[in-house]
Structure 1
């Protein structure tokens, strides 16, 4: 594998308008979240945020989110395009918790920050306390969260503003959503799209290496499948980071990647960084990462496996690797 410099090396901020913030409130908040998400709710504190997945009874993820503690409530984020369907699925279970609500916070904003300078602009000296992914510090109007660095150790943060009333960071360049997505890919952090909803067990998306799966918590929807895959060593494919060239547009999510004439995996997320290439995340079989890969229906696209900025030990444990 190669760990060449990533194209996602810009500093600045991006307004993440493609995501919505949801507030869960009421007496059953923690019990509801504990029963539906892969994260242990007790680990979500005013000082710690955690990623989580919500899955079907068959263990297939239909929601990837982050949980943030806001006094007695919990906040989470959803992709705007998927939010109605996700909330509809979750509300089937919320009905069991009288007096507990789950509502989109219409005025809320989430701002992505790249680079230490951006964090200092938002939180001043307090930004230095955010040493690890998931660390949280309160700001005047919300919460600044350290998230996973991009390849090349570029610090990344999210600034959650439930009231939506804060000035944008001054003196920093505004980045595009494509810039932010490129940094997420370089960090090995996936997101779901309509093509990939319910396509993967969370471990296939490396969520266990992104503080997103708690294997020792109690039962939750999909837990039996997720736990069995973990404890019995049944994970045969996982998330990889690849560079691609020879494409005039990014491969679509859900597109098939081939090793020879056999399917090796699927594209999860992809962004262009030049006129004929970029980077992507793909779920691949562990025995396919050393093969010459091709994109089904496009023989001109070439691929190179890049290092992720975190280890995936299951690949070494898989006899097929």
Structure 2
């Protein structure tokens, strides 16, 4: 595998090929999604785009993503491209009972932007959202302000629209790595096919990012997710860490103690420079609470802070804050 070192900043509009769009369209689209996803779907109103996830009946995540409403009967889920087909196949078993259609739109292009976001938004006829989770949409394109300390925006459009805008979009691996490094530093882990059906949402700190509504009614896996929250039964948590290594760990690689006991596994990793890696890992809380020395293939792991508290953040509160109601 070629060595890719991230740019220190996201200087260009960069195409993000690791993301995909799964559209849910129809008169019953909202009702259908309400019974399947952790988000309070009515909050996705074209201005607020909540994080969400889809679970098995045992509460394990099949996919996580961000939910946009494009119009009254059209929702778009942004998620890992590796999960789109499997999630669509799973949801179609339930969609048959609703006036709702699932479409994996392969014509959609995702573009990450930071410094050039203003210019790109103007060329696409969009208002650039100022607050995290805020969304702007028109008939051709949409944009969401990404959560995290670095100002970032995720654009969703088509190649035809981009060509008409005359805006340059790069396929630069260093810029793509810079975007993924920003996700890691923001404590946002995107589930991939390799770890599907393994984690409760709380193991990816999803409730701390506003990705779970504990105020809505039933959805698939809701009972298990709620019980884990209210009984304090979450024994694994997402951590941010670094290690010195010239090799990039694979997704799912094991984090171990000095006695070779597995205590966690890597969810995402990006090379920071020639000799170091930053990563997100799901870790046994005992290992972090007791400050155990931890290793990946003999390389010592150093824990880094996350930019948010590990506590419940209700999406209802986020939506109200966005609208200036609190």
Instruction: Give the TM-score taking structure 2 as reference length.
Output: 0.84
- Tell me if the contact between 1:109 and 1:164 (Cα under 8 Å) persists in the aligned partners: no
Q: CA distance change for structure 1 residues 164 and 219 in 2, over 3 Å: closer, same or farther?
A: farther
- Please say if 1:62 is aligned against 2:58: no
Q: CA distance change for structure 1 residues 163 and 216 in 2, over 3 Å: closer, same or farther?
A: farther
Distance 2:280 2:51 in 1: 18
Cα shift at 1:206:
0.8
| Matched residue, 2:97 | 96
| Matched residue, 1:20 | 20
Distance 2:108 2:169 in 1: 21
Aligned Cα root-mean-square deviation (Å): 2.4
Distance 1:224 1:178 in 2: 37
- Tell me if the contact between 1:68 and 1:75 (Cα under 8 Å) persists in the aligned partners: yes
Using the TM superposition, name which of 48-57 and 302-311 deviates more. Answer: 302-311
| Matched residue, 1:161 | 157
Cα shift at 1:235:
1.6
Distance 1:119 1:268 in 2: 28
Cα shift at 1:146:
0.4
Q: 5+ residue gaps in structure 2?
A: 1-5, 313-326
Secondary structure of the structure 2 residue equivalent to 1:278: strand
For these two proteins, the number of residue pairs brought into alignment is 299
- Tell me if the contact between 2:251 and 2:267 (Cα under 8 Å) persists in the aligned partners: yes
Distance 2:8 2:293 in 1: 25
Q: CA distance change for structure 1 residues 58 and 272 in 2, over 3 Å: closer, same or farther?
A: same
Cα shift at 1:236:
1.9
| Matched residue, 2:318 | none
- Please say if 1:280 is aligned against 2:279: yes
Secondary structure of the structure 2 residue equivalent to 1:123: helix
Q: CA distance change for structure 1 residues 80 and 173 in 2, over 3 Å: closer, same or farther?
A: closer
Secondary structure of the structure 1 residue equivalent to 2:133: coil
Cα shift at 1:95:
1.6
Using the TM superposition, name which of 235-244 and 220-229 deviates more. Answer: 235-244
| Matched residue, 2:316 | none
Secondary structure of the structure 2 residue equivalent to 1:112: strand
Cα shift at 1:190:
0.4
| Matched residue, 1:82 | 83
Cα shift at 1:147:
0.9
String of CA shifts for 1:105-150, please: whole Å, max 9, x gaps: 121111111x3x322112249988623211112357311110112x
| Matched residue, 1:120 | 118
Secondary structure of the structure 1 residue equivalent to 2:283: strand
Q: 5+ residue gaps in structure 1?
A: 1-5, 315-321
Cα shift at 1:231:
1.1
- Tell me if the contact between 1:21 and 1:75 (Cα under 8 Å) persists in the aligned partners: yes
Cα shift at 1:8:
5.2
Distance 1:24 1:162 in 2: 18
| Matched residue, 1:39 | 39
Cα shift at 1:256:
1.3
Q: CA distance change for structure 1 residues 140 and 163 in 2, over 3 Å: closer, same or farther?
A: farther
Using the TM superposition, name which of 162-171 and 70-79 deviates more. Answer: 162-171
| Matched residue, 2:196 | 197
